[in-house]
Structure 1
Amino acid sequence: MKIDLSGKTAIVTGSTGGIGLAIATGLARAGATVTIVGRTRARVDTALAALRETANRDDATGVVADVGTAEGCAALVAARPDADILVNNLGIYGAQEFFDIDDALWDGFWQVNVMSGVRLGRHYARGMRERGWGRIQYISSESALNIPTEMVHYGVSKAALQGLSRGLAKVLAGSGVTVNSILPGPTRTEGAVQMMADLAAERGVGAAEMETLFLAENRPSSLLRRFADPDEVAAMSVYIASPQASATTGAALRVEGGIVESIA
Protein backbone atom coordinates (compact mmCIF):
# COMPACT_ATOMS: atom_id res chain seq x y z
CA MET A 1 0.00 0.00 0.00
CA LYS A 2 1.37 3.39 -1.00
CA ILE A 3 -0.08 6.30 0.95
CA ASP A 4 0.06 9.56 -0.96
CA LEU A 5 -0.92 12.74 0.87
CA SER A 6 0.53 15.11 -1.70
CA GLY A 7 -1.39 18.37 -1.80
CA LYS A 8 -2.79 17.89 1.70
CA THR A 9 -2.02 20.16 4.64
CA ALA A 10 -1.67 18.77 8.16
CA ILE A 11 -1.51 20.28 11.64
CA VAL A 12 -0.14 18.19 14.50
CA THR A 13 -0.35 19.64 18.00
CA GLY A 14 2.17 18.76 20.68
CA SER A 15 4.55 17.76 17.90
CA THR A 16 7.96 18.90 19.08
CA GLY A 17 8.82 15.41 20.29
CA GLY A 18 7.61 11.90 20.97
CA ILE A 19 4.50 10.56 19.28
CA GLY A 20 3.57 13.97 17.88
CA LEU A 21 6.87 14.46 16.07
CA ALA A 22 6.77 10.88 14.79
CA ILE A 23 3.28 11.50 13.37
CA ALA A 24 4.31 14.82 11.81
CA THR A 25 7.33 13.14 10.22
CA GLY A 26 5.24 10.25 8.93
CA LEU A 27 2.69 12.60 7.36
CA ALA A 28 5.49 14.60 5.74
CA ARG A 29 7.06 11.45 4.33
CA ALA A 30 3.68 10.60 2.80
CA GLY A 31 3.62 13.96 1.03
CA ALA A 32 1.61 16.23 3.33
CA THR A 33 2.71 19.78 4.09
CA VAL A 34 2.97 19.72 7.87
CA THR A 35 2.70 22.36 10.57
CA ILE A 36 4.53 21.59 13.81
CA VAL A 37 2.94 23.15 16.90
CA GLY A 38 4.73 23.69 20.21
CA ARG A 39 5.00 26.13 23.09
CA THR A 40 8.51 27.48 22.54
CA ARG A 41 10.38 28.68 19.47
CA ALA A 42 13.45 26.65 20.39
CA ARG A 43 11.50 23.39 20.59
CA VAL A 44 9.60 24.09 17.39
CA ASP A 45 12.78 24.95 15.47
CA THR A 46 14.56 21.84 16.73
CA ALA A 47 11.62 19.64 15.74
CA LEU A 48 11.42 21.26 12.30
CA ALA A 49 15.10 20.61 11.69
CA ALA A 50 14.68 16.96 12.67
CA LEU A 51 11.59 16.53 10.50
CA ARG A 52 13.18 18.17 7.46
CA GLU A 53 16.22 15.92 7.73
CA THR A 54 14.33 12.70 8.41
CA ALA A 55 11.52 13.23 5.91
CA ASN A 56 13.74 14.98 3.35
CA ARG A 57 11.18 17.78 3.04
CA ASP A 58 11.74 21.52 3.25
CA ASP A 59 8.12 22.72 3.24
CA ALA A 60 7.25 21.96 6.88
CA THR A 61 6.56 25.00 9.04
CA GLY A 62 6.02 25.72 12.71
CA VAL A 63 3.66 27.71 14.90
CA VAL A 64 4.53 28.66 18.47
CA ALA A 65 1.33 28.49 20.51
CA ASP A 66 0.13 26.95 23.75
CA VAL A 67 -3.01 25.27 22.44
CA GLY A 68 -3.79 24.04 25.93
CA THR A 69 -5.37 27.49 26.32
CA ALA A 70 -8.13 29.28 24.42
CA GLU A 71 -5.68 32.03 23.50
CA GLY A 72 -3.20 29.54 22.10
CA CYS A 73 -5.87 27.85 20.00
CA ALA A 74 -6.88 31.25 18.62
CA ALA A 75 -3.25 32.00 17.78
CA LEU A 76 -2.89 28.72 15.87
CA VAL A 77 -6.13 29.31 13.98
CA ALA A 78 -4.98 32.82 13.05
CA ALA A 79 -1.68 31.47 11.75
CA ARG A 80 -3.17 28.43 9.96
CA PRO A 81 -6.87 29.05 9.22
CA ASP A 82 -7.38 25.81 7.28
CA ALA A 83 -6.11 22.25 7.25
CA ASP A 84 -7.00 18.98 5.58
CA ILE A 85 -5.66 16.86 8.44
CA LEU A 86 -5.79 17.74 12.13
CA VAL A 87 -4.05 15.52 14.66
CA ASN A 88 -4.88 16.53 18.23
CA ASN A 89 -1.88 15.00 19.94
CA LEU A 90 -1.29 17.52 22.73
CA GLY A 91 -1.60 15.97 26.15
CA ILE A 92 -0.19 15.94 29.65
CA TYR A 93 0.07 13.14 32.17
CA GLY A 94 1.44 12.49 35.62
CA ALA A 95 0.88 10.17 38.56
CA GLN A 96 -1.05 11.58 41.50
CA GLU A 97 -2.90 10.00 44.42
CA PHE A 98 -6.62 10.42 43.69
CA PHE A 99 -7.35 12.13 46.99
CA ASP A 100 -4.63 14.69 46.31
CA ILE A 101 -5.98 15.73 42.90
CA ASP A 102 -7.56 19.12 43.59
CA ASP A 103 -9.94 21.05 41.38
CA ALA A 104 -7.15 23.10 39.82
CA LEU A 105 -5.30 19.99 38.66
CA TRP A 106 -8.48 18.43 37.31
CA ASP A 107 -9.18 21.61 35.38
CA GLY A 108 -5.63 21.81 34.07
CA PHE A 109 -5.83 18.31 32.62
CA TRP A 110 -9.27 19.04 31.18
CA GLN A 111 -8.14 22.23 29.45
CA VAL A 112 -5.04 20.70 27.88
CA ASN A 113 -6.20 17.17 27.12
CA VAL A 114 -9.82 17.82 26.18
CA MET A 115 -10.64 21.45 25.47
CA SER A 116 -7.71 21.87 23.08
CA GLY A 117 -9.30 19.18 20.93
CA VAL A 118 -12.77 20.68 21.32
CA ARG A 119 -11.65 24.14 20.22
CA LEU A 120 -9.53 23.04 17.29
CA GLY A 121 -12.01 20.43 16.11
CA ARG A 122 -14.79 23.02 16.22
CA HIS A 123 -12.82 25.34 13.96
CA TYR A 124 -11.11 23.06 11.45
CA ALA A 125 -14.07 20.70 10.97
CA ARG A 126 -16.10 23.53 9.41
CA GLY A 127 -13.68 24.04 6.55
CA MET A 128 -13.23 20.32 6.03
CA ARG A 129 -17.00 19.84 5.80
CA GLU A 130 -17.32 22.66 3.29
CA ARG A 131 -14.59 21.13 1.11
CA GLY A 132 -16.00 17.62 1.43
CA TRP A 133 -12.80 16.00 2.70
CA GLY A 134 -10.87 15.94 5.95
CA ARG A 135 -9.27 13.84 8.64
CA ILE A 136 -9.47 14.61 12.36
CA GLN A 137 -7.67 12.46 14.90
CA TYR A 138 -7.59 12.50 18.68
CA ILE A 139 -4.66 10.77 20.37
CA SER A 140 -6.26 9.11 23.36
CA SER A 141 -4.71 6.27 25.39
CA GLU A 142 -5.34 2.76 26.57
CA SER A 143 -5.77 4.49 29.93
CA ALA A 144 -9.15 5.68 28.63
CA LEU A 145 -10.38 2.08 28.84
CA ASN A 146 -8.01 0.81 31.49
CA ILE A 147 -8.17 3.72 33.95
CA PRO A 148 -4.95 3.65 36.01
CA THR A 149 -5.48 4.11 39.73
CA GLU A 150 -2.37 6.29 39.91
CA MET A 151 -3.66 8.61 37.15
CA VAL A 152 -7.45 8.72 37.38
CA HIS A 153 -7.56 12.32 36.16
CA TYR A 154 -5.51 11.42 33.09
CA GLY A 155 -7.63 8.37 32.28
CA VAL A 156 -10.85 10.35 32.61
CA SER A 157 -9.57 13.07 30.26
CA LYS A 158 -8.59 10.48 27.66
CA ALA A 159 -11.97 8.76 27.97
CA ALA A 160 -13.57 12.14 27.30
CA LEU A 161 -11.50 12.45 24.11
CA GLN A 162 -13.00 9.23 22.83
CA GLY A 163 -16.47 10.55 23.51
CA LEU A 164 -15.59 13.76 21.71
CA SER A 165 -14.18 11.85 18.74
CA ARG A 166 -17.25 9.64 18.40
CA GLY A 167 -19.63 12.57 18.78
CA LEU A 168 -17.86 14.72 16.21
CA ALA A 169 -17.79 11.79 13.78
CA LYS A 170 -21.57 11.62 14.06
CA VAL A 171 -21.91 15.38 13.55
CA LEU A 172 -19.88 15.04 10.35
CA ALA A 173 -21.63 11.91 9.08
CA GLY A 174 -21.77 11.73 5.30
CA SER A 175 -19.57 14.79 4.85
CA GLY A 176 -16.40 13.09 3.63
CA VAL A 177 -14.67 14.03 6.89
CA THR A 178 -13.60 11.19 9.17
CA VAL A 179 -12.95 11.47 12.90
CA ASN A 180 -11.16 8.78 14.87
CA SER A 181 -9.27 8.32 18.11
CA ILE A 182 -6.00 6.42 18.47
CA LEU A 183 -5.14 4.65 21.73
CA PRO A 184 -1.41 4.14 22.29
CA GLY A 185 -0.10 2.12 25.19
CA PRO A 186 3.24 2.64 26.96
CA THR A 187 5.45 4.23 24.32
CA ARG A 188 9.15 5.02 24.41
CA THR A 189 8.86 8.82 24.28
CA GLU A 190 11.29 11.22 25.94
CA GLY A 191 8.99 11.57 28.93
CA ALA A 192 8.52 7.84 29.34
CA VAL A 193 12.24 7.17 29.02
CA GLN A 194 12.95 9.73 31.74
CA MET A 195 10.27 8.27 33.99
CA MET A 196 11.74 4.78 33.59
CA ALA A 197 15.22 6.15 34.30
CA ASP A 198 14.00 7.80 37.50
CA LEU A 199 12.22 4.64 38.63
CA ALA A 200 15.26 2.54 37.74
CA ALA A 201 17.50 4.75 39.87
CA GLU A 202 15.11 4.45 42.80
CA ARG A 203 15.04 0.66 42.56
CA GLY A 204 18.67 0.09 41.61
CA VAL A 205 18.01 -1.64 38.30
CA GLY A 206 18.80 -0.87 34.65
CA ALA A 207 16.45 1.11 32.41
CA ALA A 208 15.58 -1.90 30.22
CA GLU A 209 14.80 -4.02 33.28
CA MET A 210 12.67 -1.19 34.66
CA GLU A 211 10.50 -1.19 31.53
CA THR A 212 9.92 -4.92 32.00
CA LEU A 213 9.11 -4.45 35.68
CA PHE A 214 6.78 -1.53 34.92
CA LEU A 215 4.78 -3.57 32.43
CA ALA A 216 4.61 -6.58 34.75
CA GLU A 217 3.46 -4.49 37.70
CA ASN A 218 1.33 -1.83 36.02
CA ARG A 219 0.22 -3.29 32.65
CA PRO A 220 0.35 -7.06 33.24
CA SER A 221 -2.15 -7.76 30.43
CA SER A 222 0.28 -6.44 27.78
CA LEU A 223 0.68 -8.90 24.94
CA LEU A 224 3.46 -6.93 23.29
CA ARG A 225 5.55 -7.18 26.48
CA ARG A 226 7.57 -4.09 25.57
CA PHE A 227 7.14 -0.36 25.13
CA ALA A 228 6.08 0.66 21.62
CA ASP A 229 8.18 2.95 19.47
CA PRO A 230 6.62 6.32 18.53
CA ASP A 231 6.92 5.37 14.85
CA GLU A 232 4.65 2.38 15.46
CA VAL A 233 1.92 4.69 16.72
CA ALA A 234 2.59 7.13 13.89
CA ALA A 235 2.02 4.39 11.32
CA MET A 236 -1.59 4.08 12.45
CA SER A 237 -2.06 7.84 12.33
CA VAL A 238 -0.67 8.13 8.79
CA TYR A 239 -2.94 5.35 7.58
CA ILE A 240 -6.03 6.90 9.17
CA ALA A 241 -5.13 10.20 7.49
CA SER A 242 -4.98 8.53 4.10
CA PRO A 243 -7.58 8.23 1.33
CA GLN A 244 -7.41 4.45 1.85
CA ALA A 245 -9.01 4.86 5.31
CA SER A 246 -12.10 6.63 3.97
CA ALA A 247 -14.51 4.06 5.47
CA THR A 248 -13.04 4.23 8.97
CA THR A 249 -14.71 6.86 11.15
CA GLY A 250 -16.05 7.08 14.67
CA ALA A 251 -13.58 4.39 15.68
CA ALA A 252 -11.22 3.95 18.62
CA LEU A 253 -8.10 2.39 17.13
CA ARG A 254 -5.78 0.64 19.54
CA VAL A 255 -1.99 0.62 19.27
CA GLU A 256 -1.53 -0.46 22.88
CA GLY A 257 0.04 -3.88 22.55
CA GLY A 258 -3.06 -5.80 23.63
CA ILE A 259 -3.27 -4.33 27.15
CA VAL A 260 -7.02 -3.79 27.01
CA GLU A 261 -8.81 -7.02 27.89
CA SER A 262 -11.40 -6.85 25.13
CA ILE A 263 -11.92 -8.38 21.71
CA ALA A 264 -14.16 -5.48 20.60
Structure 2
Amino acid sequence: MRARLVVFPVKGRNWCFSRSIDPSLEEAASSLTPSTLKHLWKKISSSSNSSAKNVELVMDFASNKMNKAWMGLEKAPEGTIKNKLHGLGLKLLSRVKPSEIFLKSISKEVSSVEITYPSSLNARLVRRRLRHIAMRGAAIHKKYFYGSVMLLPLSSALAVLPLPNIPFFWFLFRSYSNWRALQGSEKLLQLVSDCSYAENPAAPKGSEPESEESKHKFHSSQDSLWVLQPSKDLQELLDKHAEGNGLNDTAISDICKTFSLNATDVSKFRHSM
Protein backbone atom coordinates (compact mmCIF):
# COMPACT_ATOMS: atom_id res chain seq x y z
CA MET A 1 0.00 0.00 0.00
CA ARG A 2 1.35 3.43 -0.94
CA ALA A 3 0.81 6.27 1.55
CA ARG A 4 0.80 9.93 0.58
CA LEU A 5 2.89 12.14 2.88
CA VAL A 6 2.62 15.93 2.70
CA VAL A 7 5.58 18.03 3.87
CA PHE A 8 5.74 21.83 4.04
CA PRO A 9 6.99 24.69 6.29
CA VAL A 10 4.37 26.11 8.68
CA LYS A 11 6.31 28.64 10.75
CA GLY A 12 9.97 29.54 10.52
CA ARG A 13 12.01 26.36 10.85
CA ASN A 14 8.95 24.34 11.89
CA TRP A 15 7.80 21.96 9.18
CA CYS A 16 4.59 19.97 9.00
CA PHE A 17 4.70 16.22 8.33
CA SER A 18 1.29 14.66 7.75
CA ARG A 19 -0.31 11.74 5.97
CA SER A 20 -3.34 12.17 3.74
CA ILE A 21 -6.53 10.69 5.19
CA ASP A 22 -8.10 7.75 3.36
CA PRO A 23 -11.37 6.74 5.10
CA SER A 24 -11.69 3.51 3.09
CA LEU A 25 -8.31 2.28 4.34
CA GLU A 26 -9.16 3.16 7.95
CA GLU A 27 -12.41 1.19 7.73
CA ALA A 28 -10.60 -1.80 6.22
CA ALA A 29 -8.00 -1.78 9.01
CA SER A 30 -10.63 -1.55 11.75
CA SER A 31 -12.56 -4.47 10.24
CA LEU A 32 -9.49 -6.71 10.66
CA THR A 33 -9.17 -5.88 14.38
CA PRO A 34 -10.80 -8.46 16.72
CA SER A 35 -13.95 -6.99 18.29
CA THR A 36 -14.40 -9.44 21.18
CA LEU A 37 -12.18 -11.47 23.51
CA LYS A 38 -13.52 -14.66 21.93
CA HIS A 39 -12.61 -13.43 18.45
CA LEU A 40 -9.16 -12.33 19.70
CA TRP A 41 -8.46 -15.70 21.32
CA LYS A 42 -9.61 -17.53 18.18
CA LYS A 43 -7.21 -15.52 16.02
CA ILE A 44 -4.28 -16.06 18.38
CA SER A 45 -4.84 -19.78 18.99
CA SER A 46 -5.88 -20.92 15.52
CA SER A 47 -3.33 -19.01 13.43
CA SER A 48 0.37 -19.65 12.87
CA ASN A 49 1.27 -16.05 13.69
CA SER A 50 4.56 -15.22 15.33
CA SER A 51 4.63 -13.99 18.93
CA ALA A 52 5.22 -10.43 17.67
CA LYS A 53 2.12 -10.67 15.48
CA ASN A 54 0.04 -11.91 18.41
CA VAL A 55 1.28 -9.05 20.61
CA GLU A 56 0.24 -6.65 17.86
CA LEU A 57 -3.24 -8.19 17.74
CA VAL A 58 -3.61 -7.73 21.50
CA MET A 59 -2.41 -4.12 21.28
CA ASP A 60 -4.84 -3.34 18.44
CA PHE A 61 -7.67 -5.00 20.39
CA ALA A 62 -6.90 -2.88 23.48
CA SER A 63 -6.68 0.26 21.34
CA ASN A 64 -10.06 -0.49 19.76
CA LYS A 65 -11.63 -0.88 23.21
CA MET A 66 -10.08 2.39 24.41
CA ASN A 67 -11.38 4.22 21.32
CA LYS A 68 -14.92 2.95 21.95
CA ALA A 69 -14.73 3.96 25.62
CA TRP A 70 -13.48 7.41 24.55
CA MET A 71 -16.41 7.81 22.16
CA GLY A 72 -18.74 6.97 25.04
CA LEU A 73 -17.21 9.71 27.18
CA GLU A 74 -17.53 12.17 24.30
CA LYS A 75 -21.29 11.59 24.10
CA ALA A 76 -21.82 11.97 27.86
CA PRO A 77 -24.25 14.75 28.99
CA GLU A 78 -22.80 18.10 30.05
CA GLY A 79 -21.79 18.29 33.71
CA THR A 80 -21.59 14.54 34.34
CA ILE A 81 -18.48 12.76 35.62
CA LYS A 82 -17.95 11.15 32.22
CA ASN A 83 -18.12 14.54 30.55
CA LYS A 84 -15.52 15.93 32.97
CA LEU A 85 -13.29 12.94 32.33
CA HIS A 86 -13.58 13.65 28.61
CA GLY A 87 -12.49 17.25 29.20
CA LEU A 88 -9.50 16.07 31.23
CA GLY A 89 -8.64 13.61 28.46
CA LEU A 90 -8.67 16.39 25.87
CA LYS A 91 -6.21 18.40 27.96
CA LEU A 92 -3.90 15.42 28.24
CA LEU A 93 -4.15 14.63 24.52
CA SER A 94 -3.28 18.23 23.63
CA ARG A 95 0.17 17.54 25.09
CA VAL A 96 0.88 14.78 22.56
CA LYS A 97 3.37 16.08 20.00
CA PRO A 98 2.24 16.22 16.36
CA SER A 99 5.32 14.29 15.24
CA GLU A 100 4.08 11.34 17.31
CA ILE A 101 0.68 11.49 15.62
CA PHE A 102 2.40 11.53 12.21
CA LEU A 103 4.67 8.57 12.99
CA LYS A 104 1.72 6.56 14.30
CA SER A 105 0.02 7.01 10.92
CA ILE A 106 2.81 5.04 9.18
CA SER A 107 1.31 1.61 9.69
CA LYS A 108 2.85 -1.79 8.95
CA GLU A 109 0.72 -2.05 5.78
CA VAL A 110 2.56 0.86 4.13
CA SER A 111 4.93 -0.52 1.50
CA SER A 112 5.89 2.76 -0.20
CA VAL A 113 5.38 6.51 0.22
CA GLU A 114 4.67 9.38 -2.15
CA ILE A 115 6.13 12.56 -0.66
CA THR A 116 4.33 15.73 -1.76
CA TYR A 117 6.17 18.99 -1.02
CA PRO A 118 6.23 22.64 -2.26
CA SER A 119 7.98 22.95 -5.60
CA SER A 120 10.32 25.66 -4.26
CA LEU A 121 11.95 23.30 -1.74
CA ASN A 122 15.00 21.17 -2.47
CA ALA A 123 14.05 17.50 -2.86
CA ARG A 124 17.17 16.31 -1.05
CA LEU A 125 16.37 18.56 1.94
CA VAL A 126 12.81 17.19 2.15
CA ARG A 127 14.05 13.61 2.22
CA ARG A 128 16.72 14.49 4.79
CA ARG A 129 14.11 16.06 7.08
CA LEU A 130 11.94 12.94 6.82
CA ARG A 131 14.89 10.71 7.70
CA HIS A 132 15.70 12.97 10.65
CA ILE A 133 12.19 12.82 12.12
CA ALA A 134 12.17 9.03 11.68
CA MET A 135 15.57 8.52 13.35
CA ARG A 136 14.75 10.91 16.19
CA GLY A 137 11.34 9.34 16.68
CA ALA A 138 12.81 5.83 16.92
CA ALA A 139 15.15 6.90 19.73
CA ILE A 140 12.61 9.00 21.65
CA HIS A 141 9.61 6.67 21.49
CA LYS A 142 11.63 3.59 22.45
CA LYS A 143 12.66 5.38 25.65
CA TYR A 144 9.13 6.66 26.33
CA PHE A 145 7.59 3.25 25.63
CA TYR A 146 9.71 1.49 28.23
CA GLY A 147 9.10 4.32 30.70
CA SER A 148 5.32 4.12 30.29
CA VAL A 149 5.31 0.32 30.63
CA MET A 150 7.33 0.54 33.87
CA LEU A 151 4.76 2.94 35.35
CA LEU A 152 1.78 0.67 34.60
CA PRO A 153 2.20 -1.61 37.67
CA LEU A 154 2.56 1.41 39.96
CA SER A 155 -0.54 3.14 38.60
CA SER A 156 -2.57 -0.10 38.73
CA ALA A 157 -2.23 0.00 42.54
CA LEU A 158 -4.56 3.01 42.53
CA ALA A 159 -7.44 0.71 41.52
CA VAL A 160 -8.26 0.27 45.23
CA LEU A 161 -9.49 3.88 45.34
CA PRO A 162 -13.23 4.51 44.69
CA LEU A 163 -12.40 6.68 41.68
CA PRO A 164 -11.63 6.02 38.00
CA ASN A 165 -7.99 4.98 37.70
CA ILE A 166 -7.06 7.75 35.28
CA PRO A 167 -3.25 7.38 35.71
CA PHE A 168 -3.40 3.68 34.76
CA PHE A 169 -5.43 4.28 31.60
CA TRP A 170 -3.23 7.24 30.68
CA PHE A 171 -0.02 5.21 30.95
CA LEU A 172 -1.71 2.35 29.11
CA PHE A 173 -2.56 4.75 26.29
CA ARG A 174 0.96 6.23 26.34
CA SER A 175 2.49 2.74 26.15
CA TYR A 176 0.40 1.89 23.10
CA SER A 177 0.91 5.29 21.47
CA ASN A 178 4.69 5.24 21.89
CA TRP A 179 4.85 1.66 20.65
CA ARG A 180 2.93 2.57 17.49
CA ALA A 181 5.09 5.66 16.97
CA LEU A 182 8.22 3.52 17.37
CA GLN A 183 6.94 1.06 14.77
CA GLY A 184 6.08 3.93 12.43
CA SER A 185 9.53 5.52 12.90
CA GLU A 186 11.31 2.30 11.98
CA LYS A 187 9.02 1.73 8.99
CA LEU A 188 9.45 5.28 7.68
CA LEU A 189 13.23 5.13 8.10
CA GLN A 190 13.30 1.88 6.17
CA LEU A 191 11.27 3.39 3.32
CA VAL A 192 13.07 6.72 2.89
CA SER A 193 16.53 5.15 3.32
CA ASP A 194 16.11 3.09 0.15
CA CYS A 195 18.76 4.18 -2.37
CA SER A 196 17.96 2.04 -5.37
CA TYR A 197 18.50 4.96 -7.75
CA ALA A 198 22.23 4.82 -6.96
CA GLU A 199 22.32 1.48 -8.81
CA ASN A 200 20.65 2.82 -11.95
CA PRO A 201 21.52 0.19 -14.58
CA ALA A 202 20.49 2.53 -17.39
CA ALA A 203 23.32 4.95 -16.65
CA PRO A 204 26.35 4.29 -18.92
CA LYS A 205 29.66 3.66 -17.21
CA GLY A 206 31.96 6.64 -17.02
CA SER A 207 29.13 9.12 -17.54
CA GLU A 208 28.63 12.28 -15.53
CA PRO A 209 26.97 11.96 -12.10
CA GLU A 210 23.20 12.13 -12.22
CA SER A 211 21.57 15.43 -11.45
CA GLU A 212 18.95 15.68 -8.70
CA GLU A 213 16.27 15.95 -11.37
CA SER A 214 17.37 12.78 -13.18
CA LYS A 215 17.58 10.90 -9.87
CA HIS A 216 14.05 12.02 -9.09
CA LYS A 217 12.76 10.83 -12.46
CA PHE A 218 14.39 7.43 -12.08
CA HIS A 219 13.22 7.01 -8.53
CA SER A 220 9.63 7.80 -9.42
CA SER A 221 9.13 4.29 -10.81
CA GLN A 222 6.44 1.97 -9.50
CA ASP A 223 9.09 -0.25 -7.83
CA SER A 224 10.46 2.60 -5.73
CA LEU A 225 9.86 2.65 -1.98
CA TRP A 226 9.66 6.44 -2.02
CA VAL A 227 8.69 9.00 -4.65
CA LEU A 228 9.35 12.72 -4.36
CA GLN A 229 6.49 14.69 -5.88
CA PRO A 230 6.90 18.52 -6.04
CA SER A 231 3.53 20.29 -6.00
CA LYS A 232 2.82 23.64 -7.63
CA ASP A 233 -0.64 23.71 -6.02
CA LEU A 234 0.89 23.42 -2.55
CA GLN A 235 3.43 26.11 -3.40
CA GLU A 236 0.69 28.46 -4.60
CA LEU A 237 -1.26 27.98 -1.37
CA LEU A 238 1.85 28.78 0.67
CA ASP A 239 2.61 31.89 -1.41
CA LYS A 240 -0.99 33.06 -1.20
CA HIS A 241 -0.99 33.04 2.60
CA ALA A 242 2.66 33.88 3.22
CA GLU A 243 3.12 35.81 6.48
CA GLY A 244 6.04 36.61 8.72
CA ASN A 245 4.43 34.73 11.60
CA GLY A 246 3.88 31.53 9.62
CA LEU A 247 0.71 30.11 8.14
CA ASN A 248 -2.60 31.32 9.54
CA ASP A 249 -5.70 29.22 10.20
CA THR A 250 -7.13 30.01 6.76
CA ALA A 251 -4.00 28.77 4.99
CA ILE A 252 -3.92 25.56 7.03
CA SER A 253 -7.61 24.97 6.36
CA ASP A 254 -7.16 25.40 2.59
CA ILE A 255 -4.13 23.08 2.51
CA CYS A 256 -5.90 20.44 4.59
CA LYS A 257 -8.97 20.47 2.34
CA THR A 258 -6.84 20.21 -0.81
CA PHE A 259 -4.62 17.39 0.41
CA SER A 260 -7.02 15.61 2.84
CA LEU A 261 -5.12 16.37 6.04
CA ASN A 262 -6.26 16.72 9.66
CA ALA A 263 -6.33 20.47 10.40
CA THR A 264 -5.98 20.01 14.18
CA ASP A 265 -2.82 17.92 13.82
CA VAL A 266 -1.32 20.28 11.22
CA SER A 267 -1.93 23.33 13.44
CA LYS A 268 0.10 21.76 16.25
CA PHE A 269 3.25 21.88 14.13
CA ARG A 270 3.23 25.69 14.34
CA HIS A 271 4.14 25.53 18.02
CA SER A 272 6.16 22.31 18.11
CA MET A 273 9.85 22.34 18.87
Return the TM-score normalized by structure 1.
0.25
Give the structure, 1 or 2, with the largest relative contact order (CA under 8 Å, sep 6 or more).
2
Q: Which has the larger radius of gyration?
A: 2
Return the TM-score normalized by structure 2.
0.24
